[in-house]
Amino acid sequence: MDVRLVICGLGRVGQAFVGLLIQKDRDLQTRYGLNLKVLAAVDIGGAAVSAEGLPLKDLHAHLQKGGRVEDMPGFGKKGLTGKEALSTLPADLLVETTPTNIKDGEPGMTHIQTALSHGRHVATAAKGPLVLRYKELKTLAEKFKVKLMISAATAAALPTLDVGLSCLAGTEVLSAEGILNGTTNYILTRMHEDGSPYGEALAEAQKMGVAEPDPSLDVEGRDTANKILLVANEVFQAGLSLQDVAVEGITKVTLQGIQRAKEEGKVIKLIGKVEKKDGRILASVAPMALAANHPLASVRGTEKAISYLTDTMDRVTVSGGKSNPLGAAAALLKDIIRIYSF
C-alpha cells in the first residue's frame, strides 16, 4: 500500500523521522506492506515537493549539511506553507513535528486542523494543539473519519498510551502514575544518589544537554502536566484542560528533604498522576516520596515510566524508551503502522 505523507517541521525530530524512513524502508514493505512516500517536507521558509515522492536520501543529506528544504535542488519551493501543501497535494497523512507551542498551538494547530478537515490522518509529536484543543481536534477527526495519533507527544518512545489503550483493554483503569520528564528525573537521581545540590545537578544536566538552557518547562512541572493531561483525556476520557491539573515542580526540593525520604526508605520523584476519586477524575503533578517497593522508585537518570492500576489486571508498569529525537520519530512511525495495520 502506498501512503503519501506531508511532513511539517524538519528540525531534529523531523530529520530523525526522515532518517528512520530510509533505514526502515524494506522492513516497512515486507512486514507491513507499507510504501511510505513523502510528497512534501515543509519548514518555516518553504518546502521541498515532489508528486512522485521526494528522494529521501538526498533530502536527508541536504538537511544534515544544514540546508533548508526550500533550497533543495530540483524540489525546493520557497514560501510554500504547510496549510497550502496539505490543501493541494494528494496526501494521505500528516506527520507533524513543529516545535511545541503552548500559547496558541501554532503552527501545528493549523496543520492538524487542515489535515483532518481534508480527510487526512495525523501522527503528531507536537503537544501544544492537543493540550489546548484536544476535544475539538478529536471531534474533527471523528467527523472526517480519520485517525489522530499522539504517541510521540506523550513521552516519545515510552508506550504511554499504547499500554493504557490497548494492553489494558477490557479493564477499568483506576489510576495512572508516571515519571514523564527525563530532565527532572535526572536531577532528582543525582540529588538522591550523589548528594548533589539542586543547582549543581541542574547545571550538570544542562552541560550534558539533558536540560535546556531555560529549564523552566521541565523543572516547574509543566512538561509533565502537558503529558499527564493527554493521558487523562485519552485513557480516562476525562475532558480536562490544563487549568484542571494541579502542578508543582521540583524547584523547592531540597537535599534535606531528599535525605529525610532516604532515612524513611523512600525516594522523591516528580509524578504525574491521574486517579478516579469520588466519581471524579483528578490530575496532578508533584514531587512524591515513593516507598522503595513502588514500581517507579527504581526509575533512574533520564529514564521515564508509567504505572497503571486496574480493577482486573492489578498494576501494570512500563519503563524505558529513548528520550531523544529518534525516540519521538520511532513513536511517529509506530502510529503510522497502527493506522494502517489495525
Three-state secondary structure string covering 100-123: CCCCCCCCHHHHHHHHHHCCCEEE
Task: Tell me: do 147 and 184 sit in the same domain.
Answer: no
Do residues 6 and 153 share a domain?
yes
- Which residues form the domain of 92? 2-157+325-341
Q: Are residues 79 and 143 in the same domain?
A: yes
d(CA 26, CA 188): 42
pLDDT of amino acid 69: 96
Backbone angles phi, psi at 42, to 5 degrees: -115, 135
Length of the chain: 342
Q: Are residues 129 and 177 in the same domain?
A: no
> Which string of b and e fits 114-152 if b means at least 16 CB within 10 Å?
bbbebebbbbbbbbbbbbbbbeebbebbeeeebbbbbbb
Specify the number of domains making up the chain: 2
Scanning the structure block, which residue is given the C-alpha cell 486542523?
113
| Same domain for 103 and 202 | no
Asked whether residue 314 falls in the same domain as residue 166, the answer is yes
The CATH number of residue 139's host domain is 3.40.50.720
| Cell numbers linked to 19 | 532518517
- Residue carrying the nine cell digits 493541494: 88
Same domain, yes or no, for 311 and 165?
A: yes
CATH number at residue 280: 3.30.360.10
**Statement to judge: residues 129 and 205 lie in one domain:** no
Q: Are residues 180 and 303 in the same domain?
A: yes
In terms of domains, do 149 and 167 share one? no
Instruction: Please tell me whether residues 296 and 177 are part of one structural domain.
Output: yes
Told to judge if 103 belongs to the known catalytic residues of this protein, a careful annotator would answer no
Exactly one of 227, 269, 304, 322 is catalytic; which is it?
227
Would you state the pLDDT for residue 279?
87
pLDDT score at 256: 95
Which pLDDT does position 212 carry in this prediction? 83
Tell me the three state secondary structure of residue 181. Answer: coil
pLDDT of residue 185: 95
314 and 167, same structural domain? yes
Q: What long-range pairs does 137-144 form, CB within 8 A, spacing at least 24?
A: 137/112, 137/113, 140/113, 140/116, 141/116, 144/116, 144/117, 144/118, 144/119
Query: Could you report the average pLDDT of every consecutive run of 10 residues in the chain (342 residues)?
Result: 96 96 95 96 96 96 95 95 96 95 92 97 95 94 96 87 93 96 94 94 90 90 95 94 96 95 96 94 97 95 94 94 83 95 76
